[in-house]
Amino acid sequence: MAEDGEEKLLATVQHIVQTLGSSDTMTEDILKVFSNYDGRLSLDKLYAARTAAAAAAASGGGGGGGGGGVVGERSMTTSPPLPPPPAAVSAAGPRPPITSMERTVRALDRQISQFVAMDRLIWADSADADAFLEAVDDLIGTVQELDAAGTNRALLDRADELLSRCMARLEDEFRALIERPDDAAPVVPGGFGSDGSDDDDDFGGGDGYGDEPIPIAKPVTDYDVVIDALSPGSIANVHQIARRMVDAGFGRECAEAYAAARRSFVDESVARLGVRSRTAEEVHASPWEELEFDIARWIPAFNMVFRILIPSERRLCDRVFDGLAPFGDLAFIAAVRTQALQLISFGDAISSSSRAPERLFRVVDMYEAVRDILPDLDPVFSDPYSAALRAEVSAMCNTLGSSIKSIFMELENLIRRDPARVAAQGGVIHPITRYVMNYLRAACGSRQTLEEVMEGDFGANGGAPVAVDPDRPTSSLAVHIAWIMDVLQKNLETKSKIYRDPSLASIFLMNNGKYIIQKVNDSELGVLLGDEWIKQMTTRVRRWSMDYQRTTWGKVTSVLQTGSPGMGGLPAKAMLQKLRMFNTYFGEIYAAQSEWVIADDQLRVDIRAAVEETVMPVYASLIAKLKSSPETGRDLFIKYTPEDVVAHIQHLFEGAAK
């Protein structure tokens, strides 16, 4: 009875198959559904029943008449014979192409669907990973074979749909292995990048990091570092996946998945460096003190990103996509571009902000950081996809260089705009002189960079020093500094006219001129301006000294003149009048000029000595003549003895120190 029931069941199934199965593909699909539904309906039994039914129908159609032949003919026409079971095909010799492909696709579908449906990483089990990759390889080969044959579009579409599901799962595995490499099973020796030996040299295993990803914690000063974010085993795993995805025509999707997985690491690394994203408008609106702080963080972050992080990403990407160009290049630039552009945009914003002179030194620091790194970027950004980013860095270097040039030139405008309203008390060194000279002296600390910028070769030498001939101060920087000095000198001469006393104006010019010479001699300004310029400036100071002596002491010495030797001398009364005039003049000069200041000690000594040499001979002669004159007698009153005059002269130009 059980056997009769099973025969009836098989007959019923066979009838359903004959009724619904309009093609070989649909027939086998229906048989597969029944075999999965009931264990008694195995494919072998169904194939056997289907073959027996077909044979009976053929026999009846051949020996009977009328109606039997018609029924048999209809059944054969409307229900094509089932394809033989897979085992029978392989035993029978070469398989028919289309039917064989259909079975292959179905078998791969069953196998791959099991892996795709897993709720854990396939790579958590190395055996599963190997089996899955083998099935993927078979599927890729099948799709290529179907595409080349071009005779069964429906089956090709079905295989493509299976391939898409397979690639989606591979992409998930790919990202997980990059983001969570510890979740994967150890790779057996002999995989990608492994010959069964220790590959520490190739993958940085000698750094002692093992399989752990290495996060960036803080900026460093030693940039000779490589970050091995994945172990050799993890790289082998993701490379195997990448190769399958590229072979299947999903290379761009693989690159995007890689970039998405690595981008989070890059973003976090840059965030740890303390660099925040800011728009150009925010930068322009920020106070300089705040921007100085941001620049102080930007420079080490820029070096960290472009010297360590990005080259390490390039190294990792080249290993993951080894032999899979150009998808490795696409993945690399997509992973690092956002954070690289964030750093570049800050540099561009600083370049386009205020040209205030005090910003020069921080902008020079930024320029030097970018310029020095440009040669190292060539091997990192050598492919066509990342060359544009290298060009962005180079363009930022140019804009920073142009900004430096503009800021340096703005110093001229600062000097010109400094008003000549209030005279510096006592003829002291003017604040604008101190500011400009200290500014230029500090700027010479970056002389090579300024030479490069003024010549317009922004980073063209890749950080190589610009040749400077110290005996020929004719570079663009030297000419520009000489021009600034000329502008400063004219400004000081304008300010000297504020003084009502020409003598004090001369003291003012002497003080400032001597200060300028000192600053030039004590720095590389002397090299840039040259000995001839220093000689000319020294001559000016000497001329102002002579102007001072003429305007201050000229009338004093003229009063003291008593006539030429050999001629009749002045009467005593006239000489007494001259003495009284001298006392008045000298007292006024001393009262005023003891409050004046000559800042340079040597200049002060020289001026006093020159005054003493001018005044004392004629004054001593007058006193001697008065003492020897019988008309003056013993009632001669001398307010200032020659010794007193010398002592008073030695107290001139001390200002508040008197």
Domain boundary among 405, 427, 446: 405
- Residue 378 in any domain: the answer is yes
CB atoms within 10 A of CB 274: 15
User: What secondary structure letter does DSSP report for 85?
Assistant: P
- Residue 578 in any domain: the answer is no
Q: Indicate if 279 and 134 belong to the same structural domain.
A: no
Phi, psi of 424 (to 5 degrees): -70, 125
Residue 135 has what pLDDT?
93
Name the residue among 100, 126, 137, 113 with its Cα closest to residue 24.
Answer: 100
Q: Tell me the two tokens of residue 429.
A: 């060194």
Using alpha carbons only, give the angle 453, 456, 460 rounded to the nearest 5 degrees.
Answer: 85
Q: Indicate if 385 and 282 belong to the same structural domain.
A: yes
Q: Indicate if 401 and 424 belong to the same structural domain.
A: no
Q: Indicate if 499 and 451 belong to the same structural domain.
A: yes
Residue 404 has what pLDDT?
94
CB atoms within 10 A of CB 593: 26
Q: Indicate if 354 and 441 belong to the same structural domain.
A: no
Domain of 521? 416-458+471-548
Between the CA of residue 146 and those of 21, 84, 99, 142, 548, what are the distances in Å? Answer: 23, 21, 12, 6, 105
Domain boundary among 154, 174, 194: 174
622 near 580, Cβ under 8 Å?
Answer: no
Between the CA of residue 160 and those of 27, 124, 142, 143, 146, what are the distances in Å? Answer: 22, 27, 10, 7, 10
Task: Output Rg (C-alpha) for the chain, integer angstroms.
Answer: 49
- Tens of pLDDT, residue by residue over 437-457, are 999 999 998 998 999 998 876
Q: Indicate if 325 and 255 belong to the same structural domain.
A: yes
Name the residue among 332, 357, 351 with its Cα closest to residue 263.
Answer: 332
Q: Burial code of 401-433, b = ≥16 C-beta within 10 A, e = fewer?
A: bbbbbebbebbbebbeebeeeebbebbbbbebb
Q: Indicate if 291 and 393 belong to the same structural domain.
A: yes
Q: Indicate if 449 and 362 belong to the same structural domain.
A: no
- Residue 490 in any domain: the answer is yes
- Residue 239 in any domain: the answer is yes
Q: Indicate if 401 and 447 belong to the same structural domain.
A: no
Q: Hey, what amino acid is at 615?
A: V
Using alpha carbons only, give the angle 33, 34, 38 rounded to the nearest 5 degrees.
Answer: 125
Peptide linkage before 617 cis (omega within 30 of 0): no
Find the Cα–Cα–Cα–Cα dihedral 90, 91, 94, 97, rounded to 10°.
Answer: -40
- Residue 587 in any domain: the answer is no
Domain boundary among 501, 525, 548: 548
Regions of the chain short of the pLDDT cut 50: 1-2, 22-23, 25, 39, 42-43, 57-93, 95-98, 187-219, 460-466, 470-472, 566-568, 658
Domain count, the chain: 4
394 near 345, Cβ under 8 Å?
Answer: no
- Residue 517 in any domain: the answer is yes
- Residue 509 in any domain: the answer is yes
Name the residue among 163, 168, 118, 173 with its Cα closest to residue 143.
Answer: 163
Residue 578 has what pLDDT?
87
β-partners of residue 654 are 597
Q: What does 127-150 look like in DSSP terms, one character per residue?
A: HHHHHHHHHHHHHHHHHHHHHHH-
β-partners of residue 597 are 654
Residue 656 has what pLDDT?
59
Angstrom distance (rounded) from CA 170 to CA 181: 15
Residues 194-200: contacts with CB under 8 Å, at least 24 apart:
194/232, 194/233, 194/236, 199/232
Name the residue among 315, 274, 329 with its Cα closest to residue 298.
Answer: 274
Residue 14 has what pLDDT?
61
- Tens of pLDDT, residue by residue over 17-62, are 555 554 454 555 555 555 555 545 544 555 555 555 555 544 444 4
Angstrom distance (rounded) from CA 513 to CA 505: 12
Angstrom distance (rounded) from CA 65 to CA 57: 13
- Residue 366 in any domain: the answer is yes
Angstrom distance (rounded) from CA 369 to CA 388: 20
Q: Indicate if 249 and 297 belong to the same structural domain.
A: yes
Angstrom distance (rounded) from CA 599 to CA 427: 9
Spatial neighbors of 192 by CB under 8 A, at least 6 apart, are: 235, 236, 239, 240, 322
Cut 0.75: pTM above it: no
499 near 423, Cβ under 8 Å?
Answer: yes
Q: Indicate if 139 and 108 belong to the same structural domain.
A: yes
Q: Indicate if 401 and 451 belong to the same structural domain.
A: no
